[in-house]
Amino acid sequence: MLPGARAASAETTHPAATEADAEKHRPAEVPPPTRGFLAKATLVTAVLSIAGALLGLGRDQALAHLFGAGTETDAFLVAWTVPEVAATLLIEDGMAFVLVPAFSLAVARRARGTGGGDPVRALVASTLPRIALALVGVSALLIAGAPYLVAGLAPGLPDPALAVDCTRLTATCVLSFGLAGYCSAALRAHRRFLAPAAIYVAYNTGIITAMFVLGGHWGVRSAAIGVALGGCLMVAAQAPSLVRQLFGRRRSATATAVPEMAPAEAAAGTRKASDTEGPAAEQPAQQFAQRPAQQLAEQPPKQSVTHSVNLALVTPVLLFALCRQSQVLIERYLASNLPSGAISHLNYAQKVAQIPMTLSLMLCTVTFPVLAQALAEGDTERARNRVEHDVSVAACIVLLGAAAVFACAPQIIELLFQRGAFTAQDTAATATVMRVYSVGLLGHTLVGALVRTYFSAGRPTWYPLAAMTAGIVATSWIGAATVDAWGVSGIAAANAVGITLTAALLLSGMNERRSVPIHTRRVVHELSKPLRAAGCAAVAGALCASRFEPPALALLTGGLTVTVVYVLLLRLLGVQAVAPAFRTALRSVTRRLPHARSR
């Protein structure tokens, strides 16, 4: 199947069809991709994301090895707040929630051949200069105000001057991350996933290289230089692909590379486009036959996509992303008054603990343009099925990772970081914090998966911000109440409680007025099954891992125990979400990955 290919005319495909039937079968938008395409795109995204995550671990290992967990790393990690917030606002959440639906609409209109020029180029010409100018202004403001920013983020920091220097270097990433996020949104809307998935490989490569090359002379400032370099590499990794999409030879929607249909899918019935419609275009005959005729009608051509990115839409998205990222700011503010190294322990624990969450959201990243398209076409049923399936699969994946992190936290930290300036005491403190963080991983994943549905329809909504604000208030109050007694563990517990509260509010607010009207009770019931399985698996894995002294053997035994117990319990509880996705992915890897081209 070639999602994105225009349908052949009804007269060509069905000679006996009436004119009314021709209109009935003519799609108004780019057709949704097949399950095989989504599996392949998810596989490519996951592989490159894993590579980026491994390089991220290498980056943290290099930071721990070269500079330990003390005053220097605390100063750098305060400056690290800037790229963390920028990544959330400009790459992962904020800008993507606005631009992916906008570019999806532009790509669909270009596929229909609406008049008035290329809608995609018009959208770029309207938005990119203004966004770039705003990013330059924010970068300059952060560089000038770095001393005040450091004083506000970590008033108890022993060496604020070093943190100011690092902050001024990392502030340049606001511009580079913004351009990288813009490129990622545009390419994903074109169903190009290779270049966007590779950006963190380029980013972490730049940081690691800078630390080893410049660390001897510049100290921890070399890591901040690496952030600036890595941001430039993120843009360079995507710019050629985006330029080809915008200014290459004229492409129809068939140019959005997609997999071939499986024989079973072909047997279900397809329509082939005529030779004049492009290269070997195929579409399922049943995809559009069941849609109401009014949903297939041409949208008003004057409803310009250049106005789909407006202040009313952007403001709640960016405020939500900023509010979500403020959890990190709260943590570092509270930890700045604890003994030296507390911020570093929180950082290392969080980076490792969130790897399962990042991997679990790969499918949601790939299906975000599909969800936006379904909502734009008014296909609520397809959107509901997409959301429920994505939430179920993401929860199953992240809970397996959370159980493994809880069971084997000491062994993971020892193997990854305990060398050089990173001591056994640092390992024990970081492992304890990481176990607490693992309790909130399901909440983080649900927030990441559900919030896309609120912003996919392209209409302003403030409910996600309200839900996130409630979670931030809970994080602040609980953290302030527990930090004196529990230290960094109390801060991590506050994070877990706050994000879980936000996830519960987002799940309960899923209705037709705000988002996608999912079957909330059924979803909650299904989520309880892997949650129970993960709890049992974590306890069993921890008991097995504690019986072995060598960390590698303990990790292997504990991880294997967690996996076996978790999978068996999923089968006993009747969880079916992961098996179909796994079978589809397995079939997909045996075929060519045409969408993995960088063009």
pTM of the predicted structure, to 2 decimals: 0.68
The pLDDT of residue 18 is: 39
The residues, any chain, with a CB within 8 Å of residue 398's CB and separated by 6 or more, are 356, 357, 359, 360, 441, 442, 444, 445
Q: Specify the residue for token string 């351009």.
A: 179
Per-residue confidence (pLDDT) for residue 384, from 0 to 100: 87
What φ, ψ does residue 284 adopt, rounded to 5°? -65, 135
Take residue 381 and report the two structure tokens written for it: 């049923």
- Nearest alpha carbon to residue 354 among 439, 438, 479: 438
- Residues β-bridged to residue 272: 282
Q: 284: which strand partners?
A: 270
Q: What is the pLDDT along the chain (599 residues), one digit of tens a residue?
A: 333 333 333 333 343 343 344 334 444 445 566 667 766 777 777 788 788 888 888 888 888 888 877 788 888 888 888 898 888 888 877 777 778 878 877 887 777 765 567 788 888 888 899 999 999 999 999 999 999 998 888 887 777 889 999 999 999 999 999 999 999 988 988 888 888 888 999 999 999 999 999 988 888 899 999 999 999 999 999 999 998 888 865 444 433 333 333 333 333 333 333 333 333 333 333 443 344 434 434 444 434 554 455 666 778 888 888 888 888 888 888 888 888 788 888 888 888 888 888 888 877 877 777 777 777 667 788 888 888 888 999 999 999 999 999 999 999 999 988 887 788 898 999 999 999 999 999 999 999 889 888 877 666 788 999 999 999 999 999 999 999 889 999 999 999 999 999 999 999 988 777 778 888 899 999 999 999 999 999 999 999 999 998 999 999 999 999 999 999 999 998 886 555 554 544 454 444 444 444 33
Per DSSP, 91 falls in state: I
What is the rounded CA–CA span in Å between residue 109 and residue 122? Answer: 12
Q: Residue 433's closest CA among 407, 454, 400, 409?
A: 409
With vertex at residue 511, the alpha carbon angle to CA 507 and CA 512, rounded to the nearest 5 degrees, is 150
Q: What is the pLDDT of residue 379?
A: 79
Backbone angles phi, psi at 333, to 5 degrees: -65, -45
Task: Note whether 179 and 31 are within 8 A (CB).
Answer: no
Residue 306's CB is within 10 A of a number of other CB atoms, namely: 15
